[in-house]
């Protein structure tokens, strides 16, 4: 046999649910006739869900593109010897010059042409160029020149400057 | 209500609050905004930021650089190129590139051509590239040059698969004929090369410029460098560009020596090439070049006023390893101005002199120059000839070069410097901001102050007459200087006289007295050609036979040493 206190709790819950349902019915009743023909309750929410889904696909596209382009940029930068813009020492046999070594009064004198402290910045530059080119014909209208980068040892983070905007379409 | 029920009841709002709090701080970046547009219910905004994680370490660059620095240090006491090659072998840094070399060498050739100072015909070649078709009978490569963002991109492909690409600093693709090679601007949309390698030998199949669909065949051996540009050469004019100096300064390119390294990383990446996604090892490619030393400053440069001449100076300096010399001079000092600015400064004049065009002199005494005969330039002792302005001389016995500069102003302070230049037109940069830079102008070494002094006397008077009847001396005012140049500054005459029947001149016989008179006193100040002087104006002459000689002097009282003598009885 239920206790008196248990009955009180159930009653309290029952009353609360009744109040909620009555309130919901009232709200819906008031909205009746205000929607265009063919509109069904929840259409807008479904449209929003679709837009969110589309955005998620676009974000996945960006993630994957960044992944490919990071690999490509690492490879290209390595081929360029870590140098993005040709320096005064130039290029020899397709490779950027790290040192020039010339005969001097006593033996040889070398000139350092490669600042390895700039590699991170150079990677950002080459990555930005590659990503922008890759996203150039994307199907999601992703904004161009839209990133600021932070490179840490083993990761690159692209901070978007502008939002990706996706239309929430009307069903009717 | 028991305590546990109260707790249960309180848990409901706490849970709801926690859910709301989580929703508000979950990192959700999207936001939906309702709109009033007929076609859309609103817009959904989201920042498409991303994060890519990899196991790649950028610190590898620093490690490689330290390794390279170390091996350069090791090789400093040896044959640098050979030693670096051996060290690269040990470090497994040798590059396994074959066909790419065709493009890279061509690009290096064009790059070196662009770097040449002045005008030159660059001779490039596709020969001597080994290992291209050791596995196949023949291979055909296409190289295309196109303008790309203010540079020229070179792309090499084989059967439409891109093998290599490179860039050169050429803003436009140009080609030229011979006659207008310095001014013509024939633009091309692209330059296309088709080259076949069979038995390791290249065979040029096509080399042409394309402009609006029209093809112009180009030389596959030469390019022309003028100003800041290089131009390919219309094939129909190739033979003119082949003509040796002085018509063309032909330089074989590439001129830069160097060594390329390919250091493999342990990291693999996915790369899409020619439509395939492949896993590839990251390979660091970098190089070391061995530039030819720029010719050092010239030694023992001297400048002096040209003897018995006006508006001219003579420079001399020690011979050195150089293809040519440049003389720079100006009335303003340029000792601290970098060379690239000097070249743009119109106030600093430049004279370029090719060593091989120098006239050879066995010996010369630059401080002695005599007129023999009068009316032509003086002749230098030991050499027996005059020095022509604008010409370079090689002074064999002293292993020096001499240059005679004219056209400057007498009495004005000038500054001059001489630089040695190599085949590619490299000379000292005079960049004094570089530490320990020895390629600079140093006062008294390769840089001098000088001035020209007018020490050219008017011509000898050759028609002196002594008229006993009128007791006058008559002569024609000289219109020329001793070297035959026009004289416009005759300011005095010296009348030499001596009681003597001897016909020896005052330069030979001592004891002559002299009276200096002006052209006004000789009645030939203006246009009058005949001058006269009454000897009665000379005080205290005895009634006896006197010898007379007359010389002309310019405003600097330059006077030749010789004079004809005439006798006259003073009455």
Q: What is the pLDDT of residues A15-53, one digit of tens each?
A: 999 999 999 999 888 877 777 776 777 777 888 889 999
- What number is the ipTM of this complex? 0.78
Q: How many CB atoms lie within 10 A of CB B481?
A: 27
pLDDT mean over A112-123: 93
Cα–Cα dist B127/B138, whole Å: 15
Specify the pLDDT at position A72. Answer: 92
Looking only at the bridges linking them, the beta strands covering B250-252 and B120-123 are parallel
CA distance B402 to chain A (A): 27
Specify the pLDDT at position B28. Answer: 56
Specify the pLDDT at position B128. Answer: 81
What is the token pair recorded at B328?
A: 């720079």
pTM: 0.70
Specify the pLDDT at position B416. Answer: 96
Cα–Cα dist B325/A64, whole Å: 61
Q: Which of helix, strand or coil describes residue B170?
A: coil
Q: Which of B123, B117, B107, B226 is nearest to B169 (CA)?
A: B107
Residue of B26, B44, B282 to mutate, testing the A interface (most A Cβ within 10 Å of its Cβ): B44
CA distance B260 to chain A (A): 7
Chain A to chain B, count of Cβ pairs less than 8 Å apart?
Answer: 221
Specify the pLDDT at position B24. Answer: 58
Q: How many CB atoms lie within 10 A of CB B533?
A: 22
What is the token pair recorded at B375?
A: 């009316």
Q: Which residues contact B145 (CB under 8 A, 6 or more apart)?
A: B152, B153, B154, B173, B190, B191, B192, B193
Record: contact B272-A157, CB cut-off 8 A: no
From chain B, pick out residues whose CB is under 8 angstroms from the CB of A55: 30, 44, 46
User: What are the mean pLDDT values of chain B's consecutive 10-residue runs (571 residues total)?
Assistant: 80 85 63 78 90 88 95 88 93 91 95 90 90 79 92 93 91 92 90 91 93 94 91 95 87 93 90 82 95 89 92 94 93 94 93 92 94 91 93 95 94 95 88 88 93 91 92 92 89 92 78 91 84 92 91 92 89 84
Closest Cβ–Cβ partner in B5, B49, B56 for A74: B56
Residue of B55, B113, B156, B287 to mutate, testing the A interface (most A Cβ within 10 Å of its Cβ): B287
Burial bucket for residue A55 (CB in 10 Å: 0-12, 13-18, 19+): buried
Question: Tens digits of per-residue pLDDT, A123-166?
Answer: 999 999 999 999 888 888 888 889 999 988 778 999 999 999 99
Cα–Cα dist A159/A8, whole Å: 56
Record: contact B50-A157, CB cut-off 8 A: yes
Q: Which of A153, A29, A130, A135 is nearest to A80 (CA)?
A: A130
Q: Which residues contact B432 (CB under 8 A, 6 or more apart)?
A: B336, B338, B440
Specify the pLDDT at position B143. Answer: 96
Question: Tens digits of per-residue pLDDT, B135-188?
Answer: 667 899 999 999 988 899 999 999 988 999 999 999 899 999 999 999 888 999
Burial bucket for residue B125 (CB in 10 Å: 0-12, 13-18, 19+): middle
Record: contact B289-A100, CB cut-off 8 A: yes
Question: Tens digits of per-residue pLDDT, B448-468?
Answer: 999 998 889 999 998 999 999
Q: Which residues contact A66 (CB under 8 A, 6 or more apart)?
A: A131, A156, A158, B50, B52
CA distance B133 to chain A (A): 20
Cα–Cα dist B71/B88, whole Å: 9
Cα–Cα dist B97/B102, whole Å: 10
What is the token pair recorded at A121?
A: 């910045």
CA distances to A49, A58, A166, B302 from B31, in Å: 12, 15, 10, 81
Cα–Cα dist A22/A94, whole Å: 78
Q: How many CB atoms lie within 10 A of CB A18?
A: 10
Segments of B376-486 assigned E as strands:
379-381, 392-395, 400-406, 413-421, 447-451, 465-467, 472-476
Q: Which of B445, B309, B298 is nearest to B366 (CA)?
A: B309
From chain B, pick out residues whose CB is under 8 angstroms from the CB of A162: 47
Chain-centroid distance of CA B82 in Å reads: 32
Looking only at the bridges linking them, the beta strands covering B324-330 and B50-53 are unpaired
Q: How many CB atoms lie within 10 A of CB B330?
A: 18
Identify whether the C-beta of residue B72 lies closer than 8 Å to the C-beta of residue A110. yes
Distance from the first to the final alpha carbon of chain A:
56
CA distance B285 to chain A (A): 5
What is the token pair recorded at B568?
A: 């006259």
Identify whether the C-beta of residue A73 lies closer than 8 Å to the C-beta of residue A126. yes
What is the token pair recorded at B212?
A: 């609006």
């Amino acid at each position: 046999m239920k206790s008196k206190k248990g009955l009180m709790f159930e009653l309290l819950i029952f009353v609360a649910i009744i109040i909620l349902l009555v309130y919901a019915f009232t709200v819906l009743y008031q909205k009746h006739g205000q929607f265009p023909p063919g509109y069904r309750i929840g259409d807008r929410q479904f449209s929003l869900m679709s837009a969110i889904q589309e955005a998620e696909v676009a974000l996945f596209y960006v993630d994957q593109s960044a992944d490919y382009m990071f690999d490509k940029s690492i490879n290209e930068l390595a081929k360029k010897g870590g140098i993005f813009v040709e320096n005064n020492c130039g290029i020899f046999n397709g490779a950027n010059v790290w040192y020039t070594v010339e005969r001097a009064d006593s033996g040889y004198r070398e000139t350092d042409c490669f600042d390895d402290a700039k590699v991170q910045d150079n990677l950002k530059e080459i990555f930005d160029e590659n990503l922008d080119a890759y996203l150039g014909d994307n199907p999601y209208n992703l904004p161009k020149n839209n990133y600021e980068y932070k490179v840490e040892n083993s990761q690159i983070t692209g901070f978007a400057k502008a939002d990706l905007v996706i239309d929430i379409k009307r069903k009717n | 209500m028991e305590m546990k029920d109260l707790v249960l009841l309180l848990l409901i709002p706490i849970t709801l609050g926690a859910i709301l709090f989580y929703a508000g701080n979950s990192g959700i970046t999207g936001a939906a905004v309702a709109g009033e547009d007929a076609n859309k219910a609103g817009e959904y905004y989201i920042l498409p930021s991303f994060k890519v994680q990899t196991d790649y370490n950028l610190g590898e660059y620093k490690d490689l650089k330290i390794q390279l620095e170390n091996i350069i240090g090791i090789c400093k006491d040896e044959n640098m190129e050979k030693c670096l090659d051996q060290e690269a072998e040990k470090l497994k840094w040798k590059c396994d590139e074959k066909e790419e070399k065709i493009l890279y060498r061509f690009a290096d050739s064009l790059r070196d051509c662009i770097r040449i100072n002045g005008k030159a015909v660059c001779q490039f070649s596709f020969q001597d590239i080994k290992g291209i078709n050791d596995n196949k009978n023949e291979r055909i490569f296409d190289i295309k040059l196109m303008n790309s963002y203010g540079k020229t991109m070179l792309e090499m492909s084989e059967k439409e698969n891109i093998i290599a690409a490179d860039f050169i600093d050429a803003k436009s693709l140009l080609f030229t004929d011979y006659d207008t090679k310095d001014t013509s601007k024939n633009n091309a949309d692209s330059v296309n090369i088709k080259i076949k390698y069979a038995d390791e030998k290249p065979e040029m199949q096509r080399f042409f410029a394309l402009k609006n669909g029209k093809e112009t065949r180009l030389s596959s051996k030469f390019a022309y460098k003028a100003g800041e540009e290089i131009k390919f050469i219309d094939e129909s004019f190739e033979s003119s560009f082949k003509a040796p100096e002085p018509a063309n300064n032909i330089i074989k390119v590439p001129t830069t020596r160097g060594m390329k390294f390919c250091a493999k990383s342990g990291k693999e990446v996915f790369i899409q090439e020619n439509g395939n996604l492949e896993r590839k090892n990251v390979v660091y490619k970098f190089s070391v070049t061995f530039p030819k030393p720029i010719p050092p400053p010239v030694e023992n440069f001297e400048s002096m006023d040209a003897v018995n001449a006006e508006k001219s100076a003579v420079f001399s300096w020690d011979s050195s390893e150089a293809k040519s010399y440049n003389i720079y001079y100006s009335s303003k000092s340029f000792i601290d101005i970098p060379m690239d600015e000097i070249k743009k400064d119109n106030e600093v004049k430049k004279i370029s002199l090719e060593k091989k065009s120098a006239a050879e002199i066995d010996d010369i005494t630059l401080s002695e120059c005599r007129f023999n005969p009068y009316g032509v330039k003086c002749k230098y002792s030991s050499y027996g000839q005059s020095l022509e302005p604008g010409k370079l001389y090689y002074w064999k016995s002293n292993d020096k070069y001499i240059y005679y500069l004219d056209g400057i102003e007498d009495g004005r302070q000038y500054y001059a410097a001489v630089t040695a230049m190599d085949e590619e037109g490299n000379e000292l940069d005079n960049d004094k901001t570089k530490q320990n830079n020895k390629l600079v102008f140093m006062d008294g070494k390769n840089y001098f102050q000088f001035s020209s002094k007018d020490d050219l006397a008017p011509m000898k008077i050759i028609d002196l007459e002594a008229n006993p009847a009128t007791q006058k001396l008559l002569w024609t005012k000289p219109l020329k200087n001793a070297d035959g140049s026009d004289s416009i500054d005759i300011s005095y005459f010296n009348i030499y006289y001596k009681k003597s029947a001897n016909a020896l001149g005052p330069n030979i016989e001592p004891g002559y007295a002299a009276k200096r008179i002006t052209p006004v006193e000789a009645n030939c100040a203006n246009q009058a050609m005949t001058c006269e002087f009454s000897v009665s104006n000379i005080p205290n002459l005895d009634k006896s036979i006197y010898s007379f000689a007359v010389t002309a002097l310019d405003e600097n009282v330059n006077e030749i040493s010789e004079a004809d003598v005439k006798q006259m009885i003073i009455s």
